[in-house]
Protein backbone atom coordinates (compact mmCIF):
# COMPACT_ATOMS: atom_id res chain seq x y z
CA UNK A 1 0.00 0.00 0.00
CA UNK A 2 1.52 3.28 -1.13
CA UNK A 3 0.71 6.31 1.00
CA UNK A 4 0.14 9.87 -0.08
CA UNK A 5 3.56 10.82 1.26
CA UNK A 6 5.20 8.15 -0.89
CA UNK A 7 5.80 5.84 2.07
CA UNK A 8 4.89 2.18 1.69
CA UNK A 9 3.17 0.27 4.47
CA UNK A 10 4.78 -3.15 5.06
CA UNK A 11 1.58 -5.13 4.46
CA UNK A 12 1.79 -8.72 5.77
CA UNK A 13 5.30 -8.14 7.12
CA UNK A 14 4.57 -7.03 10.69
CA UNK A 15 4.00 -9.82 13.18
CA UNK A 16 2.15 -8.73 16.32
CA UNK A 17 3.97 -8.29 19.61
CA UNK A 18 3.18 -11.09 22.09
CA UNK A 19 2.83 -11.23 25.87
CA UNK A 20 4.09 -13.57 28.59
CA UNK A 21 1.77 -15.13 31.16
CA UNK A 22 1.49 -13.35 34.48
CA UNK A 23 -0.47 -12.95 37.69
CA UNK A 24 -2.40 -9.89 38.93
CA UNK A 25 -0.17 -7.08 40.26
CA UNK A 26 -0.11 -3.33 40.86
CA UNK A 27 2.48 -0.96 39.42
CA UNK A 28 2.56 2.74 38.50
CA UNK A 29 4.79 1.76 35.56
CA UNK A 30 2.05 -0.29 33.82
CA UNK A 31 -1.32 0.30 32.22
CA UNK A 32 -4.06 -2.35 32.40
CA UNK A 33 -6.71 -3.09 29.79
CA UNK A 34 -9.17 -5.87 29.00
CA UNK A 35 -7.78 -8.98 27.31
CA UNK A 36 -10.22 -9.21 24.43
CA UNK A 37 -11.37 -12.70 23.46
CA UNK A 38 -11.15 -12.53 19.68
CA UNK A 39 -8.87 -12.73 16.64
CA UNK A 40 -5.67 -10.70 16.87
CA UNK A 41 -5.51 -8.44 13.84
CA UNK A 42 -3.42 -5.69 12.28
CA UNK A 43 -5.42 -3.18 10.22
CA UNK A 44 -3.51 -1.51 7.37
CA UNK A 45 -5.31 1.71 6.46
CA UNK A 46 -4.53 3.84 3.43
CA UNK A 47 -7.72 4.90 1.61
CA UNK A 48 -8.82 1.27 2.00
CA UNK A 49 -8.74 -1.41 4.73
CA UNK A 50 -6.61 -4.55 4.77
CA UNK A 51 -6.93 -6.92 7.74
CA UNK A 52 -4.06 -9.25 8.65
CA UNK A 53 -4.24 -12.18 11.09
CA UNK A 54 -1.47 -12.89 13.59
CA UNK A 55 -0.06 -15.53 11.22
CA UNK A 56 0.08 -13.03 8.33
CA UNK A 57 -3.07 -14.14 6.48
CA UNK A 58 -5.42 -11.75 4.69
CA UNK A 59 -8.75 -12.01 6.55
CA UNK A 60 -10.31 -8.91 4.97
CA UNK A 61 -12.93 -10.88 2.96
CA UNK A 62 -14.18 -12.63 6.12
CA UNK A 63 -15.33 -9.36 7.73
CA UNK A 64 -16.92 -7.11 5.08
CA UNK A 65 -18.50 -4.93 7.78
CA UNK A 66 -14.97 -3.75 8.71
CA UNK A 67 -14.09 -2.61 5.20
CA UNK A 68 -14.90 1.00 6.09
CA UNK A 69 -12.53 1.27 9.05
CA UNK A 70 -10.25 3.56 7.08
CA UNK A 71 -13.01 6.20 7.01
CA UNK A 72 -12.73 6.57 10.80
CA UNK A 73 -8.95 6.79 11.12
CA UNK A 74 -6.88 9.88 10.42
CA UNK A 75 -3.14 10.31 9.99
CA UNK A 76 -2.98 7.73 7.19
CA UNK A 77 -1.17 5.71 6.02
CA UNK A 78 -1.65 4.00 9.39
CA UNK A 79 -1.45 0.55 10.98
CA UNK A 80 -3.57 -0.37 13.99
CA UNK A 81 -3.02 -3.34 16.26
CA UNK A 82 -6.16 -4.73 17.80
CA UNK A 83 -8.62 -7.56 18.19
CA UNK A 84 -11.65 -8.54 16.12
CA UNK A 85 -14.50 -9.54 18.45
CA UNK A 86 -18.15 -10.51 18.01
CA UNK A 87 -20.34 -9.38 20.91
CA UNK A 88 -22.51 -12.00 22.58
CA UNK A 89 -24.73 -11.98 25.64
CA UNK A 90 -24.61 -8.77 27.69
CA UNK A 91 -22.16 -7.35 25.17
CA UNK A 92 -19.31 -9.63 26.22
CA UNK A 93 -17.13 -11.00 23.39
CA UNK A 94 -18.33 -14.42 22.22
CA UNK A 95 -15.48 -16.51 20.83
CA UNK A 96 -17.88 -19.21 19.67
CA UNK A 97 -19.78 -16.69 17.53
CA UNK A 98 -16.50 -15.39 16.17
CA UNK A 99 -15.34 -18.91 15.32
CA UNK A 100 -18.60 -19.53 13.48
CA UNK A 101 -17.87 -16.40 11.43
CA UNK A 102 -14.31 -17.49 10.78
CA UNK A 103 -15.39 -20.87 9.37
CA UNK A 104 -17.54 -19.35 6.65
CA UNK A 105 -16.26 -19.43 3.07
CA UNK A 106 -19.35 -18.71 0.97
CA UNK A 107 -19.51 -14.94 0.20
CA UNK A 108 -23.31 -14.84 0.57
CA UNK A 109 -23.22 -16.50 3.99
CA UNK A 110 -20.40 -14.15 5.04
CA UNK A 111 -22.51 -11.11 4.08
CA UNK A 112 -25.51 -12.50 5.95
CA UNK A 113 -23.43 -13.18 9.05
CA UNK A 114 -21.97 -9.67 8.90
CA UNK A 115 -25.53 -8.36 9.29
CA UNK A 116 -26.68 -10.88 11.91
CA UNK A 117 -23.55 -11.07 14.13
CA UNK A 118 -21.40 -8.06 13.15
CA UNK A 119 -17.79 -7.89 14.26
CA UNK A 120 -16.08 -4.99 16.02
CA UNK A 121 -12.43 -3.98 15.73
CA UNK A 122 -11.02 -3.08 19.17
CA UNK A 123 -7.92 -0.94 18.60
CA UNK A 124 -5.25 -0.89 21.31
CA UNK A 125 -2.08 0.28 19.56
CA UNK A 126 -0.86 2.42 16.68
CA UNK A 127 2.22 1.14 14.81
CA UNK A 128 2.41 3.41 11.77
CA UNK A 129 1.21 7.00 11.61
CA UNK A 130 1.30 9.13 8.42
CA UNK A 131 3.41 6.36 6.90
CA UNK A 132 6.05 6.59 9.64
CA UNK A 133 7.09 3.64 11.80
CA UNK A 134 6.38 4.68 15.42
CA UNK A 135 6.91 1.23 16.99
CA UNK A 136 10.17 2.35 18.72
CA UNK A 137 8.23 5.06 20.60
CA UNK A 138 7.00 4.33 24.17
CA UNK A 139 3.56 2.83 24.62
CA UNK A 140 2.06 5.81 26.46
CA UNK A 141 3.02 8.07 23.52
CA UNK A 142 1.52 5.68 20.95
CA UNK A 143 -1.67 5.44 23.05
CA UNK A 144 -2.03 9.21 23.00
CA UNK A 145 -1.63 9.33 19.24
CA UNK A 146 -4.13 6.47 18.87
CA UNK A 147 -6.75 8.58 20.65
CA UNK A 148 -6.11 11.43 18.21
CA UNK A 149 -6.18 9.24 15.10
CA UNK A 150 -9.27 7.10 15.72
CA UNK A 151 -12.87 8.27 15.63
CA UNK A 152 -14.85 5.42 17.27
CA UNK A 153 -17.99 4.11 15.60
CA UNK A 154 -20.26 1.06 15.44
CA UNK A 155 -17.50 -1.27 14.22
CA UNK A 156 -14.45 0.48 15.69
CA UNK A 157 -13.68 1.18 19.35
CA UNK A 158 -10.56 2.07 21.31
CA UNK A 159 -9.60 -0.23 24.17
CA UNK A 160 -9.72 1.83 27.36
CA UNK A 161 -7.24 1.29 30.19
CA UNK A 162 -6.42 2.23 33.76
CA UNK A 163 -3.09 2.86 35.45
CA UNK A 164 -1.44 1.37 38.55
CA UNK A 165 -4.35 -0.64 40.03
CA UNK A 166 -4.06 -3.94 38.17
CA UNK A 167 -5.27 -6.24 40.95
CA UNK A 168 -8.58 -4.41 41.42
CA UNK A 169 -9.06 -4.16 37.66
CA UNK A 170 -8.47 -7.90 37.23
CA UNK A 171 -11.06 -8.70 39.92
CA UNK A 172 -13.59 -6.43 38.18
CA UNK A 173 -12.97 -8.13 34.80
CA UNK A 174 -13.36 -11.57 36.39
CA UNK A 175 -16.72 -10.55 37.90
CA UNK A 176 -17.87 -9.45 34.46
CA UNK A 177 -16.95 -12.82 32.95
CA UNK A 178 -14.20 -11.37 30.73
CA UNK A 179 -11.18 -13.40 29.60
CA UNK A 180 -8.66 -11.45 31.65
CA UNK A 181 -6.34 -8.45 31.65
CA UNK A 182 -3.34 -7.25 29.64
CA UNK A 183 -0.67 -5.40 31.62
CA UNK A 184 1.67 -3.27 29.49
CA UNK A 185 4.71 -1.23 30.51
CA UNK A 186 4.14 2.46 29.78
CA UNK A 187 7.67 2.97 28.43
CA UNK A 188 7.75 -0.19 26.30
CA UNK A 189 8.44 -0.06 22.56
CA UNK A 190 6.46 -2.29 20.21
CA UNK A 191 8.53 -5.40 19.48
CA UNK A 192 6.99 -7.06 16.40
CA UNK A 193 6.95 -10.84 16.50
CA UNK A 194 8.56 -11.00 19.92
CA UNK A 195 7.16 -12.27 23.22
CA UNK A 196 8.22 -9.81 25.91
CA UNK A 197 7.68 -9.27 29.64
CA UNK A 198 6.82 -5.67 28.74
CA UNK A 199 3.39 -7.15 28.03
CA UNK A 200 1.76 -9.65 30.40
CA UNK A 201 -1.48 -11.56 29.89
CA UNK A 202 -3.35 -12.33 33.08
CA UNK A 203 -6.17 -14.77 32.40
CA UNK A 204 -9.26 -15.43 34.47
CA UNK A 205 -8.96 -19.20 34.84
CA UNK A 206 -11.84 -21.47 35.82
CA UNK A 207 -11.49 -24.91 37.38
CA UNK A 208 -13.62 -28.04 37.50
CA UNK A 209 -13.62 -31.80 38.01
CA UNK A 210 -14.08 -34.08 35.00
CA UNK A 211 -14.25 -37.83 34.43
CA UNK A 212 -11.47 -39.47 32.40
CA UNK A 213 -13.31 -41.67 29.89
CA UNK A 214 -10.34 -42.47 27.67
CA UNK A 215 -7.07 -41.23 26.27
CA UNK A 216 -5.10 -40.67 23.09
CA UNK A 217 -1.68 -42.35 22.84
CA UNK A 218 1.25 -39.99 22.49
CA UNK A 219 3.66 -39.52 19.60
CA UNK A 220 7.40 -38.98 19.50
CA UNK A 221 8.80 -38.84 23.02
CA UNK A 222 5.38 -38.68 24.66
CA UNK A 223 3.52 -41.84 25.61
CA UNK A 224 0.32 -40.02 26.59
CA UNK A 225 -1.15 -37.59 24.08
CA UNK A 226 -4.30 -36.39 25.82
CA UNK A 227 -6.94 -37.39 28.35
CA UNK A 228 -10.51 -37.55 27.01
CA UNK A 229 -12.97 -35.92 29.40
CA UNK A 230 -16.65 -36.27 30.16
CA UNK A 231 -19.32 -35.50 32.75
CA UNK A 232 -22.69 -37.03 33.50
CA UNK A 233 -25.77 -35.25 32.17
CA UNK A 234 -29.12 -36.76 33.05
CA UNK A 235 -27.44 -40.07 33.76
CA UNK A 236 -25.45 -40.23 30.50
CA UNK A 237 -21.86 -39.34 29.77
CA UNK A 238 -21.34 -36.20 27.68
CA UNK A 239 -18.10 -35.29 25.94
CA UNK A 240 -16.36 -32.22 27.39
CA UNK A 241 -13.13 -32.17 25.38
CA UNK A 242 -9.61 -33.43 25.84
CA UNK A 243 -6.60 -32.15 27.73
CA UNK A 244 -3.00 -32.69 26.65
CA UNK A 245 -1.09 -30.17 28.76
CA UNK A 246 -0.29 -29.80 32.46
CA UNK A 247 1.35 -33.17 33.13
CA UNK A 248 5.11 -33.80 33.14
CA UNK A 249 6.85 -37.11 32.34
CA UNK A 250 6.44 -38.42 35.89
CA UNK A 251 2.72 -37.61 35.98
CA UNK A 252 2.36 -39.06 32.48
CA UNK A 253 3.80 -42.39 33.65
CA UNK A 254 1.53 -42.42 36.70
CA UNK A 255 -1.58 -41.66 34.61
CA UNK A 256 -0.77 -44.37 32.07
CA UNK A 257 -0.27 -46.84 34.90
CA UNK A 258 -3.69 -46.03 36.34
CA UNK A 259 -5.38 -46.09 32.93
CA UNK A 260 -3.90 -49.53 32.14
CA UNK A 261 -5.57 -50.91 35.28
CA UNK A 262 -9.01 -50.01 33.94
CA UNK A 263 -11.06 -52.26 31.70
CA UNK A 264 -11.36 -51.21 28.08
CA UNK A 265 -14.94 -50.38 27.07
CA UNK A 266 -16.84 -49.33 23.93
CA UNK A 267 -17.11 -45.60 23.15
CA UNK A 268 -19.21 -44.09 25.97
CA UNK A 269 -20.94 -41.32 24.02
CA UNK A 270 -24.13 -41.64 22.02
CA UNK A 271 -22.55 -40.35 18.83
CA UNK A 272 -19.04 -40.29 17.32
CA UNK A 273 -16.72 -37.51 18.51
CA UNK A 274 -14.74 -35.84 15.71
CA UNK A 275 -11.14 -34.79 16.15
CA UNK A 276 -9.90 -37.73 18.24
CA UNK A 277 -6.76 -39.66 17.26
CA UNK A 278 -6.70 -43.41 18.00
CA UNK A 279 -8.80 -43.07 21.19
CA UNK A 280 -8.63 -45.78 23.84
CA UNK A 281 -11.80 -45.94 25.94
CA UNK A 282 -11.69 -47.04 29.58
CA UNK A 283 -14.09 -47.46 32.48
CA UNK A 284 -15.12 -44.01 33.75
CA UNK A 285 -13.58 -44.44 37.20
CA UNK A 286 -10.97 -41.66 37.44
CA UNK A 287 -11.74 -38.00 38.16
CA UNK A 288 -9.28 -35.16 37.51
CA UNK A 289 -9.11 -31.43 38.11
CA UNK A 290 -8.77 -29.29 34.98
CA UNK A 291 -8.27 -25.56 34.63
CA UNK A 292 -9.82 -23.92 31.56
CA UNK A 293 -10.60 -20.53 30.12
CA UNK A 294 -14.30 -21.04 29.35
CA UNK A 295 -16.85 -23.50 28.01
CA UNK A 296 -18.25 -23.35 24.49
CA UNK A 297 -22.05 -23.42 24.04
CA UNK A 298 -21.91 -27.21 23.54
CA UNK A 299 -19.95 -27.72 26.76
CA UNK A 300 -16.41 -28.16 25.37
CA UNK A 301 -13.51 -26.74 27.38
CA UNK A 302 -11.32 -24.01 25.87
CA UNK A 303 -7.59 -23.95 26.72
CA UNK A 304 -7.77 -26.79 29.27
CA UNK A 305 -4.80 -27.72 31.46
CA UNK A 306 -4.60 -30.82 33.68
CA UNK A 307 -4.00 -30.16 37.37
CA UNK A 308 -4.16 -33.61 38.99
CA UNK A 309 -6.26 -36.65 39.88
CA UNK A 310 -8.98 -36.41 42.52
CA UNK A 311 -8.75 -39.63 44.48
CA UNK A 312 -11.41 -38.29 46.87
CA UNK A 313 -14.04 -37.86 44.13
CA UNK A 314 -16.41 -40.43 42.66
CA UNK A 315 -17.40 -40.08 38.97
CA UNK A 316 -21.07 -39.65 39.81
CA UNK A 317 -20.57 -36.78 42.28
Q: Is 35 tagged catalytic?
A: yes
Exactly one of 15, 35, 109, 313 is catalytic; which is it?
A: 35
Q: Give the mean model confidence (pLDDT) for residues 260-272.
A: 91
pLDDT-derived band at 109, boundaries 50, 70, 90 = very high
Q: Give the mean model confidence (pLDDT) for residues 225-248.
A: 92
Q: Give the mean model confidence (pLDDT) for residues 119-145.
A: 97
pLDDT of residue 151: 96
Return the closest-CA partner of residue 123 out of 188, 165, 78.
Answer: 78
What domains are defined for the chain? 18-203 (3.30.470.30), 206-309 (2.40.50.140)
Q: Give the mean model confidence (pLDDT) for residues 191-195.
A: 96
Return the closest-CA partner of residue 114 out of 78, 154, 149.
Answer: 154
- Looking at the chain, which runs of residues are DSSP E strands? 18-21, 27-34, 39-45, 49-53, 78-85, 120-129, 132-133, 156-158, 161-164, 180-185, 195-203, 206-217, 224-233, 236-243, 280-292, 294-295, 301-302, 305-309
pLDDT of residue 230: 94
pLDDT of residue 184: 98
Q: Please tell me the distance from the alpha carbon of residue 213 to that of residue 125, in angstroms, as a whole number.
A: 45
Q: Give the mean model confidence (pLDDT) for residues 163-190.
A: 94
pLDDT-derived band at 97, boundaries 50, 70, 90 = confident
pLDDT of residue 317: 64
Beta bridge partners of 164: 27
pLDDT-derived band at 5, boundaries 50, 70, 90 = very low
- Report the percent of the chain where pLDDT is more than 70: 97
Q: Give the mean model confidence (pLDDT) for residues 161-171.
A: 96
pLDDT of residue 2: 47
Amino acid sequence: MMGENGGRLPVFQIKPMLAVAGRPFDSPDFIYEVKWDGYRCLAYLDRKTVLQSRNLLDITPAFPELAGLYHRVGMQPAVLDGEIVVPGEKGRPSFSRLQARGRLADPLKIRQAALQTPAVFVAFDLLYCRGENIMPQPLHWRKGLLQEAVQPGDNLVISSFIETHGTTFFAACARQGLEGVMAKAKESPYLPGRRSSHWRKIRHIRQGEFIIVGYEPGTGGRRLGALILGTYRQGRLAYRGKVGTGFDREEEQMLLGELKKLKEVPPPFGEPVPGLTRPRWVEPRLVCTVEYLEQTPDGRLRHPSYRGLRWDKEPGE
